[in-house]
A and B are shown apart, each in its own frame.
Chain A
Amino acid sequence: MDFRRRIIIFCIITLGVITHKISAQQLSKTALLKTWKLEKYYEEGEYYAPEEIEKEDYIQFNGDMTFTTKMEDKTYFGTWMLNINGKYIELKYNTEEVDKLRIKCLGTYSLVAIFDLDYYRYTEIHYSTCEK
Chain B
Amino acid sequence: MKYLFFFAVLFSIVVSGQDFIKLKTVPFDSGNIKFYIKEIIDDRKEKNLGIHKNLKGETVKLQLFPNAAYAVKSFIDSSLVETSDSQKIYVKINALSIQETRRNTEEVISRATVDLSFCEMRKGKLKELYRIQRNEDQVFAASVFGFTSIIEDVFLSHDQRIRAALEYCFLAFIEHKNSSIDKSSTHFDISNFDENDDNKLNNWYNIIEYRQILTSTYHNGWALGYTGFLDDNSAFIIPYEINIEFYDVKDNFARREGFEYVDATMLRPGIFGYKKIISGVYGTVGVNIPIGVEVKRRLGNDNDIYKFLIGVGASQGMKIIPWQNYGLVLGVEFFQQIQNSEIYTQDIGLEISVGFNF
- A interface residues, Cβ below 8 angstroms from B: 28-29, 65, 79-88, 90, 92, 98, 116, 121-122
Contact = CB atoms under 8 A, between A and B. Distances in A.
B167 A79 contact: no
Contact of A121 (B27, B139, B164, B168): B139
B140 to A, nearest CB: 10
B187 interface: yes
Nearest to B161: A86
B163 A122 contact: no
A81 B171 contact: yes
B163 A82 contact: no
Contact of A85 (B138, B166, B185, B188): B166
Smallest CB-CB A-B distances: 4 pairs: A86-B164, A85-B163, A79-B187, A84-B28
A81 B164 contact: no
15 contacts: A79-B185, A81-B187, A82-B29, A83-B168, A84-B26, A84-B29, A85-B26, A85-B28, A85-B163, A85-B164, A85-B166, A86-B160, A90-B187, A98-B189, A121-B139
Interface in B138-188: 138-139, 141, 160-161, 163-168, 171, 185, 187-188
Contacts of A87: 160, 164
B100 interface: no
A44 to B, nearest CB: 11
Contacts of B138: 116
Given A83-B171, A84-B167, A85-B166, 13 more contacts: A79-B187, A81-B171, A83-B168, A84-B28, A85-B160, A85-B163, A85-B167, A86-B161, A86-B163, A86-B165, A87-B164, A92-B187, A116-B139
Contacts of B187: 65, 79-81, 90, 92
Contacts of A116: 138-139
B351 interface: no
Nearest to A100: B137
Nearest to B112: A86
Interface of B: 26-29, 136, 138-139, 141, 160-161, 163-168, 171, 185, 187-189
A85 B72 CA distance: 13
Contacts of B160: 85-87
Q: Could you say which of A81, A85, A88 has the most chain B C-beta atoms within 10 Å of its C-beta? A: A85
A94 to B, nearest CB: 11
A90 B171 CA distance: 12
Contacts of A88: 164
A83 B164 contact: yes
B141 A122 contact: yes
B143 to A, nearest CB: 14
B337 to A, nearest CB: 34
Given A86-B161, A86-B163, A81 B188 contact: yes
A4 B59 CA distance: 56
A34 to B, nearest CB: 17
B172 to A, nearest CB: 9
Contacts of A79: 185, 187
B195 to A, nearest CB: 16
Nearest to A82: B29
Contacts of B189: 98
Nearest to B162: A85
Nearest to B164: A86
A121 to B, nearest CB: 6
Given A28-B29, A65-B187, A92-B187, A83 B141 contact: no
A44 B301 CA distance: 56
Contacts of A81: 168, 171, 187-188
Given A65-B187, A79-B187, A81-B188, A86 B29 contact: no
A92 B188 CA distance: 9
Nearest to B168: A83
A79 B136 CA distance: 19
B139 A86 contact: no
Given A79-B185, A116-B139, A122-B141, A86 B26 contact: no
